[in-house]
Amino acid sequence: MPTDTSPPVTGRPDPGVLLAPPARPGDPLDAIDTPALLLDLDASDANVAALHAQAVAAGLAVRAHGKAHRCPRLALRQIAAGAVGICVQKVGEAEGFAAAGVRDILVTNEIVSPDKCLRLARLATLPGMRIATCVDDPLQVERLAAACASAGSRVDVLIEVDVGQQRCGVETPSQALAIAEAIDRAAPHLALRGLQAYHGRAQHLRGAGERAEAVARAAAVAREFRAALEQAGHAVSEISGGGTGSFPNEAGAGVWTELQAGSYALLDLDYRANAVDPAAPRLRQALGVMTTVISRRAAHAVLDGGLKSFAVDSGLPAMRDPRWKVVGLSDEHTVIRPLEGAAPLALGQRVILDPGHCDPTVNLHDWIVAYRGNTVEAVWPVLPRGASR
Amino acid sequence: MPTDTSPPVTGRPDPGVLLAPPARPGDPLDAIDTPALLLDLDASDANVAALHAQAVAAGLAVRAHGKAHRCPRLALRQIAAGAVGICVQKVGEAEGFAAAGVRDILVTNEIVSPDKCLRLARLATLPGMRIATCVDDPLQVERLAAACASAGSRVDVLIEVDVGQQRCGVETPSQALAIAEAIDRAAPHLALRGLQAYHGRAQHLRGAGERAEAVARAAAVAREFRAALEQAGHAVSEISGGGTGSFPNEAGAGVWTELQAGSYALLDLDYRANAVDPAAPRLRQALGVMTTVISRRAAHAVLDGGLKSFAVDSGLPAMRDPRWKVVGLSDEHTVIRPLEGAAPLALGQRVILDPGHCDPTVNLHDWIVAYRGNTVEAVWPVLPRGASR
């Protein structure tokens, strides 16, 4: 096959027509082009109000996790409802939220490539921007410092501590101390803000007691590291972590200063499989995916969304109408079977499904169709796939 | 929370900066920004040549399935290498490939909404366009006919027969005959081209014998439906189906006239788990995902791509270096552990992983970085997520 003679890469990957939104404000739900991501605003607003109220009552700030929805318009609503800012996992996400006007962003992740460090350092030059990221190795500190020196900016740093997640993070106080000293040496370009103490797995333990125990262990580790840093003269002004699945535990621990909840504005089947903590407000399912019946017979119907519309890492989606059972997905199809009492579905009929895992499901869609009752209220763009870089 | 006062939806969902490609032609692989989707052109070209040669030898046309890669530039290469055209699953994909110049497109799926029928009918008005779609219900025929009458165009139709997939498709010859008559009545706007006889599951049966049996049963069903239609005076000029996992079987069956293979240009771990058919050429792994080590300790390393870079519906990705084992993914992380003899990985080092399932993995990326040896040759755009509509 010949050597590629394509023109040089410039501009956009696709004809604009393909990015047309699936609905317009004022449309009835039955006019939405499918597959489409839906957000029930009444449910989402109620969830946001409930979690924010509980965090405020416990003296915690809410730093809404933008990784859950990647939607700048939704982040601005969470900030209007009291969140101090947002957190994200990627520099590309930080750039997208910053472009929409968000001015307090924490990257809850390690950055190591010089190019990405420079992009973050440049974001820090935006007027009014307060920005931070995590480190667990002196090399990350060194590269961030060099990038900030080059950009003439300052980035705050949280030392990530492994409080049970067994992923990133330092394991011993002496590692944390060495990093804190490296951060101090990089002043004024870097400043130690505190600790990242995130235990994502704890949020998905099914029993309320298991979650409480895991968070208590995480809190003990965070306390130990805070004490070691403070004894050595390093101020620890923030300890950031927690999330939707375990926030009553973090709120009650007296260690965390801010809560990194994201899924609470959306919800999914995996969080709903948790045994309810009596201390937590009931969160409602706000996120859905609308599909259309494109084929049907007596024993099943076939919907026009599959693995390219639903992430299945935490299980299959479920029909919002519980009289229909999802039996399988392929790239662009979901097969559903009727249970006792199911009303027949017509060819062309639209149905809504609840996703297994909200974050990677939103990442499969370009738009969030926000609705109340039977009417579309707004259509919000989602950051592109490239925001993972 | 207040009613949404966002400006009306217009234009693009994101700042253009986020869509910058992860590499430029001529870059060494170590300069690629991660996570990034990679295509080894030597492997892909060899796979394309081998499958096309076997299909030609068996008298079958290759209709390359664009759902696998959603990449117009790659489709044009497959056509240059002998494919008669492409197939897709969605009208949005058809629009994207048509915009890039592809002029023979089959939508291997049922379309039922009047809007989507009209979009397809409009595509059929493009000069030189040959377009077709599938039906399994008279309502789809009626709506397609109305759309083509409105657009002043003609669309070819394949009647989908359920040959074992148990998803879409008619189940009895009498259903097929009723649909064929409806198509005839819709002339000149619709024309019966033949049958869609696709058995995707057969491709993923592990044993070569199991695959051969499943395809033989599918062939028998397709023959029965062809005979019924021909006896009633309907010409069946094409029988389309088959794919990468089972193409030697379809090639030898004497029923299919064209092969809908897509994954062969990419490959994935799921296809590689099949026992090799001695009649099939060995296909090479061409698709990969490059990531960077962002955190590490003695017992594991953490990579900067997770569920938003790899589809895991068919299993976890695998490190191309077999001395490292993938132990878990979260949204933006993959944790890997060293096995016997593993060389240490440096912080910031780039590594390549092979995906479990190619189609939904490509769908997570904006760009394909096509390379030979250690050098980037081209960077090709992937159709946007909205192409699922």
pLDDT digits (tens, 9 = 90+) for B352-361: 999 999 999 9
Whether A196 has a pLDDT exceeding 60, the answer reads yes
Phi and psi torsions of B112, nearest 5°: -130, -25
User: Helix A114-123 vs helix A138-151: angle between axes, to the nearest 10 degrees?
Assistant: 50
- Tell me if A13 and B383 make a contact (CB, 8 A cut-off): yes
Which residues on A lie below 8 Å from B48 (Cβ)? 1
Whether A117 has a pLDDT exceeding 60, the answer reads yes
Whether A8 has a pLDDT exceeding 70, the answer reads no
What is the C-alpha separation between B7 and B12, in angstroms, rounded? 13
* Nearest Cβ partner for A112 among B15, B294, B300: B294
Whether B20 has a pLDDT exceeding 90, the answer reads no
Q: Is B10 on the interface with A (CB under 8 A)?
A: no
- Tell me if B367 and A13 make a contact (CB, 8 A cut-off): yes
Two domains, one topology: B23-39+283-384 and B58-265: no
| Amino acid letter for position B150 | S
What is the C-alpha separation between B251 and B59, in angstroms, rounded? 8
Supply the pLDDT for residue A19. 66
- The CATH code of the domain at B58-265 is 3.20.20.10
- Tell me if B388 and A112 make a contact (CB, 8 A cut-off): no
What is the C-alpha separation between A77 and A100, in angstroms, rounded? 12
- Tell me if A113 and B377 make a contact (CB, 8 A cut-off): no
Give whole-number Cα distances, B114 to A18, A94, B189, B353, in Å. Answer: 17, 40, 15, 42
What is the share, in percent, of chain A residues with pLDDT greater than 70?
95
For residue B248, give how far its alpha carbon lies from the nearest alpha carbon of chain A (Å).
23
Which residues on B lie below 8 Å from A89 (Cβ)? 331-332
Query: What pairing do the DSSP bridges indicate for beta strands A61-65 and A36-40?
Result: unpaired
In order, the DSSP letters of B288-308 are EEEEEEEEE-SS-EEES--TT
Supply the pLDDT for residue B14. 44
Q: What angle do CA B266, B272, B277 make, to 5 degrees?
A: 110
Supply the pLDDT for residue A281. 86
Whether A280 has a pLDDT exceeding 90, the answer reads no
Supply the pLDDT for residue B12. 44
Two structure tokens written together for B286: 């061409």
Do the Cβ atoms of B25 and B377 come closer than 8 Å? yes
CB contacts < 8 A, A to B, total 273
Supply the pLDDT for residue A4. 52
Which residues on A lie below 8 Å from B305 (Cβ)? 388
Which residues on A lie below 8 Å from B71 (Cβ)? none
Q: Is A95 on the interface with B (CB under 8 A)?
A: yes
For residue B318, give how far its alpha carbon lies from the nearest alpha carbon of chain A (Å).
16
* Nearest Cβ partner for A359 among B36, B169, B331: B331
For residue B360, give how far its alpha carbon lies from the nearest alpha carbon of chain A (Å).
6
Supply the pLDDT for residue B19. 66
Rounded mean pLDDT of B150-172? 97
Q: Is B15 on the interface with A (CB under 8 A)?
A: yes
For residue A333, give how far its alpha carbon lies from the nearest alpha carbon of chain B (Å).
8
**Mean residue pLDDT across chain A:** 94
Q: Is B142 on the interface with A (CB under 8 A)?
A: no
What ipTM describes this predicted complex? Answer: 0.95
Place A61 in a pLDDT band, splitting at 50, 70 and 90: very high
Do the Cβ atoms of A363 and B308 come closer than 8 Å? yes
Beta carbons within 8 Å of A311's beta carbon, 6+ residues apart: A355, A356, A357, A359, A360, A361, A363, A364, B307
* Nearest Cβ partner for B15 among A16, A67, A99: A99
- Tell me if A385 and B45 make a contact (CB, 8 A cut-off): no
CATH topology of domain B23-39+283-384: Lyase, Ornithine Decarboxylase; Chain A, domain 1 (2.40.37)
Instruction: Tell me the CATH architecture of domain A22-39+283-384.
Output: Beta Barrel (2.40)
Strand stretches in A197-332, DSSP E? 238-241, 258-259, 287-296, 301-303, 318-319, 324-330
- Tell me if B99 and A383 make a contact (CB, 8 A cut-off): no
Q: Which residue of A has its CA nearest to B72?
A: A14
* Nearest Cβ partner for A347 among B25, B137, B380: B137
What is the share, in percent, of chain B residues with pLDDT greater than 70?
95
Whether B265 has a pLDDT exceeding 50, the answer reads yes
Rounded mean pLDDT of B148-162? 98
Interface of B with A in 255-284 (CB under 8 A): none
Place A7 in a pLDDT band, splitting at 50, 70 and 90: very low
Interface of A with B in 284-303 (CB under 8 A): 292-297, 300, 302
Decide yes or no: CATH 3.40.50.970 for domain A103-261: no
Which residues are A329's β-sheet partners? A334
**Mean residue pLDDT across chain B:** 94
Within 13 A of B325's CA, how many CA atoms are on the CB side?
7
Two structure tokens written together for B63: 């209709």
**Residue in B231, B230, B256 with CA at minimum distance from that of residue B55:** B256
Residue A277 CB coordination number (10 Å): 17
Two structure tokens written together for B31: 């300069």
Residue ranges of the domains in chain B? Answer: 23-39+283-384, 58-265
For residue A380, give how far its alpha carbon lies from the nearest alpha carbon of chain B (Å).
8
- Tell me if A381 and B12 make a contact (CB, 8 A cut-off): yes
Q: What angle do CA B138, B146, B70 make, to 5 degrees?
A: 80
Q: Is A21 on the interface with B (CB under 8 A)?
A: yes
Q: Which residue of B has its CA nearest to A383?
A: B14
Place A262 in a pLDDT band, splitting at 50, 70 and 90: very high
Q: Is A50 on the interface with B (CB under 8 A)?
A: no
Supply the pLDDT for residue B384. 87
Interface of A with B in 357-376 (CB under 8 A): 357, 359-360, 363-367, 370
Beta carbons within 8 Å of A210's beta carbon, 6+ residues apart: none
Which residues on B lie below 8 Å from A347 (Cβ)? 112, 137, 139-140
For residue B331, give how far its alpha carbon lies from the nearest alpha carbon of chain A (Å).
7
Which residues on B lie below 8 Å from A330 (Cβ)? 167, 200
Rounded mean pLDDT of B92-115? 96
Which residues on B lie below 8 Å from A48 (Cβ)? 1
Cβ-in-10-Å burial (0-12, 13-18, 19+) of A219 comes to buried
Q: Is B332 on the interface with A (CB under 8 A)?
A: yes
Q: What confidence tens digit (pLDDT) does each residue in B222-240 have?
A: 999 999 999 999 999 999 9
What is the C-alpha separation between B4 and A380, in angstroms, rounded? 10
